Amino acid sequence: MRQTEPTGPTGSTGSADLEPVDYDVVVLGAGPVGENVADRTRAAGLTTAIVESELVGGECSYWACMPSKALLRPVLARADARRTPGLSRSAQGPLDTSAVLAHRDEYTSHWKDDGQVQWLESVGVELHRGVGRITGPRMVTVTAGDGTRRVLTARHAVAVCTGSRALLPPLPGLADVAPWTSREATSAKAVPGRLVVVGGGVVATEMATAWQALGSRVTLLVRGKGLLSRMEPFAGELVAEALTEAGADLRTGTSAASVTRENGAVVVITDTGERIEADEILFATGRAPRTDDIGLETVGLEPGSWLTVDDSLRVTGQDWLYAVGDVNRRALLTHQGKYQARIAGAAIAARATGGPVAAEAWGAYAATADHHAVPQVVFTDPEAGSVGLSLAEAERAGHRVRAVDLDLSSVAGAGLYGEGYKGRARMVVDLESETLRGVTFVGPGVGELVHSATVAVAAQVPVARLWHAVPSYPTISEAWLRLLEAYRDST
């Protein structure tokens, strides 16, 4: 991995001025969330500094969203081709692994952040390379790679946008095995012959899909009953079926009890006593906040903790500290973190000028969607996408709801999309307000349907009005009409 050289706020190397530097806003972390906070506060006329110890652009750009989807796009395109008459024969061969990895490398800018740095400069945000720690109220000390320290003070706000890291289980000797986390899984330079994936969530299913298609023999160890447990049950069931058909060995109700390396191979002993050998092992078993060494203790907060915030993203009990993105644990998704960043930037700017920051839901200063309309797409084959609450979540929350289900193969557009199309859809209708609490789609190509569902859920569009949102024929979007018909007929 390329190491970035420490620089001062203007990008020049060498000794830094030890005198404090004053800004209106200081942002810790230059990933997509931090960049968006900085962009919004700068646009409001506030002087803004951003601090980054790794690559500007953060986890999403180099080790998560972009590289993983670059790996998966050829996989999904080939799967679609295999379902398409006239293409299916020619798409039976293996993927060009070197081309896929080169495509991935291009989308990570070969792990160089020059373009991201240029963008910061273009909007007038000053970059400080180094490790940033809060050293008091409205104060951040940055330690560069050469040991030089600089103190940054914030007149109005410090925003913690340091994200999260992969959480490894407390297995003895695990560090000696050099396990993969999401970072290694998305940046690997070669295809492992055998890969064990521990976990059943988004990272686990996406990386199992990618590396299985690129030639690995994948074994999935899932502690629970199935995959994608936070979605409707049928989502995980269809993804599990497809992974198994592709050749993956899926073992549910199974955990890794011990992991060692013997003669270069990873040896996993499961909690049921089974022995599995592999070339690499990926743990996709959760995330932890990157807050353990950012100086939270200096302002009365617990190092390593998730930070509790109000809907304007201000940390509870503080009038100057904001926590945006993964660190607040509201929704660990890049797009949701960027949404929070826009809200936080607006709130910081309003408070800086003494303006009112109204707390009403769906207002300019409230991240209401975090509670009601969080969308997500899982780029497996088939894709799984959802927004809002599942049926079980809605019922647990005490809403009086009805689920309406649809076999997507009954939609003409699905049959045209590919032969043997398999997919399902569900909308969860609130029977009192006659609006949607949640929507889930599973099937090839359904990721592009999720935003229409997000609009319907976030805007609380009445079912009666949705009848007037006519889907184009023959597209898979006609699923909306079929769902509405099924709801009408059930009532």
pLDDT at 4 over 60: no
pLDDT at 30: 98
pLDDT at 1 over 90: no
Under DSSP, is residue 444 helix (H, G, I), strand (E, B) or coil? coil
- Backbone dihedral angles phi then psi of residue 27, each to the nearest 5 degrees: -115, 125
Q: Which helix (H) or strand (E) holds 488?
A: helix 479-490
This model's pTM is above 0.75: yes
Query: How many Å apart are CA 322 and CA 192, to the nearest integer?
Result: 41
Give per-residue pLDDT as tens, 241-289.
999 999 999 999 999 999 999 999 999 999 999 999 999 999 999 999 9
Q: How do strand 139-143 and strand 131-136 relate by DSSP bridges?
A: antiparallel
Nearest CA to 345 out of 372, 375, 314 is that of 314
Give the pair of three-digit tokens for residue 308. 């509790």
Q: How do strand 126-129 and strand 48-52 relate by DSSP bridges?
A: parallel
pLDDT at 359 over 70: yes
Under DSSP, is residue 173 helix (H, G, I), strand (E, B) or coil? coil
Mean pLDDT of the chain: 95
Band of the pLDDT at 16, cuts 50, 70, 90? very low
Residue whose pair of structure tokens reads 């949701």 in the numeric block:
336
pLDDT at 7 over 80: no
The answer to whether residues 117 and 11 touch, using CB atoms and an 8 Å cutoff, is yes
pLDDT at 337: 98
Report the chain's terminal Cα–Cα distance, integer Å.
Answer: 59
Query: What b/e sequence results for 453-474 when a residue is b if at least 16 CB atoms lie within 10 Å of its CB, and e otherwise?
Result: bbebbbeebebeebeeeebeee
Query: How many Å apart are CA 388 and CA 371, to the nearest integer?
Result: 8
Query: How many Å apart are CA 379 and CA 276, to the nearest integer?
Result: 27
CA distances in angstroms from 249 to 14, 92, 204, 206, 383, listed in the order given: 53, 21, 13, 15, 20
Query: How many Å apart are CA 45 and CA 66, to the nearest integer?
Result: 31
Residue whose pair of structure tokens reads 């989807």 in the numeric block:
69
Query: How many other β-carbons are positioned within 10 Å of the β-carbon of residue 420?
Result: 9
Give the pair of three-digit tokens for residue 78. 């080939």
Q: 3-class secondary structure for 76-94?
A: HHHHHHHCCCCCCCCCCCC
Q: Residue 28: beta bridge partners? A: 51, 160
Nearest CA to 151 out of 166, 139, 138, 137 is that of 139
